[in-house]
Amino acid sequence: MIKTIILIGGPMKGTRFRPLSLELPKPLFPVAGYPIIHHHIEACSKVPHMKEVILIGFYQPNDALNKFISNVQQEFKIQVRYLQEYTALGTAGGLYHFRDQILAGKPDSFFVMNSDVCGDFPLKEMLSFTVQKGGGSHCTVLGTEATRQQSLNYGCIVENKNTHEVLHYVEKPETYISTTINCGVYLFSPDIFCTLEKIFKKNQEDNYNYQAGNGWCSGCDPNMQMKETIRLEQDIFVPMAGSGKLYVYHTDRFWSQIKTSGAAIYANRHYLALYQNWHKERLARNGELKPQIIGDVYIHPTADVHPTAVLGPNVSVGKHAVIGEGARVRESIVLEGAVLQDHCCVLYSVIGWNVTIGMWTRVEGTPNDPNPNKPFAKVDVKDTFSPDGKLNPSITVIGSNVQVPSEVILLNAMVLPDKSLAGSCKNQIIL
């Protein structure tokens, strides 16, 4: 039996994804027509003997999350549960806190996946790789290649090229270590909890010694929380490297982080391309009284798209969206309830829930694609502002319930929810 744990974080996370994460937990944001973690669960459902998917995070239970869990259980015929942390416990603290639920039924192994990554997840291949290693290793890490400079932003892995044992691990090093990076997808054997227990007890002991050393009754904060946060990367992988219990499985398939809305546009493109292999029925087709489709496009069945509109490549249109006569949409995500009026043009943008774009209006952003001239290049997470205080060019993001008038231009803009714009906006954040 196998289980999967998906770490979904909480409302204090995903700040770089705002304003989109203001309306909906980031893991539920739709990419290629489906929530980000829907793609995770779909990949899990294809693994033999997968019995349960557990979501761990510190979001308050809400209607959107409950509805999502109900829907995926019905679609994939797999048990899905949400376990809420009482506070942020780190990437491994939640695993240890809920160890009894994870180990219920005595799984042979379990996957752990970060919710802010996307890709063509090779879970079955990771499982076969681990079995070939004897299955006794604590962990197999999914790894991929990055450029030398970009590797500094990830966990870097030094391996034995023959056995793929991880010899050295550094999280976001200051200098170059390796171009093999951690993808945020892991396969653990149950005995990893022995290691987690040792880390947890050491943290408790260190915290107790700190309190005692400072004199509990002479200035220590009686409300100070015990140190229960455990980090997979720094607390587990760093000391485990070189012990013969940590391995890396390489993938050359599509993989990316989704830290920003620009990365969501990039992920949207690649998930749509994957539909060509797995879900052609999700892709729109050209035909009589249908809009012109260029490349890969997803249109929800409830959306209303005028036959004279031109969509694509790489466009997703959500529930009950309306796209008017002569509209042009490319490399964009149009969310539920949005209205694109006649002859508007939307390029490299995310149009939020229930937004209205006026007639003949142009909404355009700047793509943040990896450098095609650099092999293994990933999406860069750029700062919002340049050193001189100017807004860096990026995709245009329009928050929910925004009204954009006719015959204006929005270029490289970010608009927070519930705004009514009076005119054009270029290189600005509208608060």
Which CATH homologous superfamily contains domain 282-430? Hexapeptide repeat proteins (2.160.10.10)
Give bridge partners of residue 385 from the DSSP assignment: 391
Distance CA 149, CA 143 (A): 17
Q: Sign of the C-alpha dihedral, residues 253, 258, 259, 260?
A: positive
Residue 216: predicted pLDDT: 46
Residue 137: predicted pLDDT: 64
Grouped pLDDT means (10 residues each) for the chain, 431 residues = 93 74 90 96 94 93 92 95 89 89 93 94 92 76 93 93 94 93 94 87 69 48 57 89 91 90 90 94 94 97 97 97 98 97 97 97 91 78 73 89 96 93 90 83
- Domain limits, the chain: 2-257, 282-430
Residue 227: predicted pLDDT: 60
Residue 136: predicted pLDDT: 63
Please check whether residue 347 is in contact with residue 331, taking contact to mean a CB–CB distance below 8 angstroms: yes
Residue 226: predicted pLDDT: 47
Give bridge partners of residue 350 from the DSSP assignment: 333, 397
Residue 209: predicted pLDDT: 59
Cis preceding linkage at 122, omega within 30? no
Residue 172: predicted pLDDT: 93
Residue 223: predicted pLDDT: 43
Residue 94: predicted pLDDT: 87
Q: What is the pTM of this model?
A: 0.91
- Fold assignment, 2-257: Spore Coat Polysaccharide Biosynthesis Protein SpsA; Chain A (3.90.550)
Residue 391: predicted pLDDT: 75
Q: Sign of the C-alpha dihedral, residues 216, 220, 222, 228?
A: negative
- Residue-wise burial string across 211-241, b where 16 or more C-beta atoms lie within 10 A, e elsewhere: eeeeeeeeeeeeeeeebbbbbbbbbbbbebb
